[in-house]
Amino acid sequence: MVRRSILLLAAAVVALYFTIILFMLNPLHGAKHAYYGSGYMNHFAFRHDPPINWCNELRWRNPPSPDVVALVSYPGSGNTWLRYLLQQVTGIVTGSIYMDYGLRVHGFPAENVTDGSVLVVKTHEAPPIEPDKFKSAILLIRNPRDAILADFNRLHKGHIGTAPKSAFKKKTHEHKKTADWSTYVSTQLTVWESLHNLWLTKYIGPVHIVFYEVLVKDTKSTLQGILDFLSYNVTETEMSCALANKEGIYRRKKKHQDFDPFTAEMYKALDQVRNKVLAMVMDYKRRHSNTVTLTKLDTNRIL
């Protein structure tokens, strides 16, 4: 009887060990709530993602930079893709204030590293209380409609998955962590506005503003602008290689082309908040003309 108990215990330990391994190797699709380190992946299905063709072997900054740069965005704004582009063109790892195990084993070995040994540090939070935490910041802004939708997809299907249509019709239940779609849009629109307001009006360090839509349309110039802000030089060969491999595995494939989950009331609220943030950007430009180069024409092409 004792021997049987020992064998059962040993089997349980082995099963737990392999469960942890599968958890660590879980692909980008199933990383629910992984940004914040407060939840666990809801399944352990393993799949083989295509290998990443890095232009340079990833390395740490050596020596580390004395100045830590934040890469700020609302979730769903393309932060992971921009980190990937920066790692491609520089070969330097990027960090994060979070520990996302799915990302850690899929090209981002510096998850949860926040010092000068990394190129930039991902955050979705407000400016830190400690004034020296980040010497400067790159603020990645995406149209709130697309950003909120992308993060809703992440909550249901991970970094590159897409939520099923049924998810937009479910009502909130107390035992579930995700709110119904209407409540989610209203709540997250307030969060979207607040995050950008704090970094554009309260943060005392220099901020380099990047619009996701412009990054997509003119990746080379936008990436070069970020590198100039970071005072980091790359060769034309390195830039060409990064652009040739710019898609990677970190951009969500669009689905439900015939389905629009936003109502007319939602669009009205989205437009109001978007315009308020654009006004903040223009005001920031007036106050820091050497940091932001944004024309009226640009505002018509973004967000």
pLDDT digits (tens, 9 = 90+) for 6-42: 666 666 655 555 444 444 444 333 333 343 443 333 3
Residue 51: its pLDDT value, please? 75
Residue type, 300: N
Residue 36 confidence (pLDDT)? 40
Residue 245: other Cβ atoms inside 10 A: 16
The confidence score (pLDDT) of residue 168 equals: 63
To 5 degrees, how large is the angle CA 232–CA 233–CA 238? 120
pLDDT, tens digit (0-9, with 9 covering 90-100), for 110-164: 999 999 999 999 999 999 998 889 999 999 999 999 999 988 786 754 445 455 5
Q: Which of 20, 84, 82 is nearest to 52 (CA)?
A: 84
pLDDT value at residue 11: 60
7 or 101: whose pLDDT is higher?
101
Helices (H), the chain: 2-25, 79-90, 101-104, 144-157, 181-201, 212-217, 219-230, 236-244, 264-287, 296-301
DSSP state letter for 125: S
Helix (H) or strand (E) holding 73: strand 69-73
pLDDT band at 179 (very low <50, low <70, confident <90, very high): low
What's the pLDDT tens digit per position in 195-214? 999 999 999 999 999 999 99
Q: What domains sit in the chain, N to C, each tagged with a CATH number?
A: 69-301 (3.40.50.300)
- The whole-number pLDDT of residue 214 equals 97
Alpha-carbon dihedral angle through residues 152, 271, 80, 280, given to the nearest 10 degrees = -140
Q: What is the pLDDT of residue 289?
A: 75
CB contact burial 261-273 (16+ within 10 A = b; e otherwise): bbeeebeebbeeb
pLDDT, tens digit, 9 for 90 and up, residues 220-237: 999 999 999 999 999 999
State the Cα–Cα distance between residues 18 and 22, nearest whole angstrom: 6
Q: Give the percent of the chain with pLDDT over 70.
A: 67
pLDDT, position 52: 86
Percent of the chain that is helix, strand, coil (3-state, to 5) = 45, 10, 45
Q: Residue 146: its pLDDT value, please?
A: 93
Q: Give pLDDT, residue 4.
A: 64
pTM comes to 0.78
Place of tokens 């909130």: 172
